[in-house]
């Protein structure tokens, strides 16, 4: 995230896209053998399960 982004909105969290496009994050992911597609697939699966659980419990 660019420094000017932090000055405009100091209390917002970075988006997943910002994180996944950060060069340091990408280096760490490469080092650990984590592919972006695998991570986004995992996150989609977790989201789907959490939504199903909320629906089942009427939350």
Residue of 3 and 37 predicted with greater confidence: 37
Tell whether 8 is covered by a domain: no
Show the 3-state SS of 16-56: HHHHHCCHHHHHHHHHHCCCHHHHHHHHHHHHHHHHHHHHH
pLDDT in tens, 8-59: 667 789 999 999 999 999 999 999 999 999 999 999 999 999 999 988 888 6
Structural domains counted in the chain: 1
Tell whether 2 is covered by a domain: no
Q: Is the pLDDT of residue 2 over 60?
A: no
- Amino acid 3: pLDDT: 53
- Amino acid 57: pLDDT: 84
For 30, the domain range is 15-56
Tell whether 5 is covered by a domain: no
Tell whether 48 is covered by a domain: yes
């Amino acid at each position: 995230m660019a420094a000017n982004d932090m000055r405009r909105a100091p209390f917002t969290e970075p988006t997943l896209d910002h994180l996944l496009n950060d060069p340091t994050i990408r280096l760490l992911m490469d080092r650990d053998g984590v592919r972006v597609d695998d991570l986004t697939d995992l996150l989609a699966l977790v989201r789907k399960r959490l939504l199903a659980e909320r629906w089942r419990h009427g939350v």
